[in-house]
Structure 1
């Protein structure tokens, strides 16, 4: 499958690209700066320049792909232009190109921003708007809402819910990348929106059990 990863040079993006290439996918790794391209060449992906804040620039980036994955993030520096509008722009470009499969990496609490930590609410509100837009797009979407991200080793085990609560809501970036990779080929994830954290169920089993 030909797969575009937007945000490929990010912490999750780099792990994800490696996993997708390892699964035999033909990966186009979208980055914003030329200096970031070398980081991805060694993974076997094809780097391409693209700017999520410039909608018109994305049409050529998505051309010829079978699936598009958004894992970009501004780290709080551009919530509206990247985390919100960037996802919307990529969604529009995907639809215009006639590509049906779209996976959006969102965040836990994005479906209920008012319940998230106060300092994260601007971010969660931006993600909420993007999520709602994608849900109405008509694409074969999957919206993934992982818990608090860590750099621990992946376990391959998760828990899925609509509403997680409490302090223990973490998941490793490696496991998030594995969930995305698995979701790409799991029909049960099409049209699904869910929160997930580290847990006790193998990722393929957890995704195959989605309603």
Structure 2
């Protein structure tokens, strides 16, 4: 990277010192990241976010005192513009579904290659979403068993314009606003306007909910 490139500021939240040390090694400045703060559990996340102004929070799911689900919900209420990437093990489907319902922008497995974790952090920091394909199907199945209080109606999809359906499909594939703008050859402002219209028309509260909607309606396969 060059001196003009902006480092992605990361807050690490995990109760294991060795895990945080490993993450620091992967999310180093030479790769375009800066770990600006760390928390051993979710209780210190709101204060750490206020003090360090991270671009993204990498959050473990299973922690003592305040777990990842509660911490993510608290953070979304206090600082909704700060995205959360959940970090967990292969067999934690219910907890990951809970993270999505709480407002996490996606999840990556602890055993993922370093390059995949780096890409996931970049995508989420830039406003995209990341769902690890190894467990996405199982997690979405759990998510659907306990939907949000105000789920979007299937018939609401008919309210979208063709361009809004395109944008929603790209959201479902985990594309960031900048990537969607490049794919459709429009400005990021236009993409944000489309997304706002999609959220309003489908009664979706956030990007993870939009991803689930896109998967449920097979828009990602088109």
**TM-score, structure 2 length as denominator?**
0.45
Q: Which structure has more RCO (C-alpha within 8 Å, separation ≥ 6)?
A: 1
Q: Whose radius of gyration is greater, 1 or 2? A: 2
**TM-score, structure 1 length as denominator?**
0.47
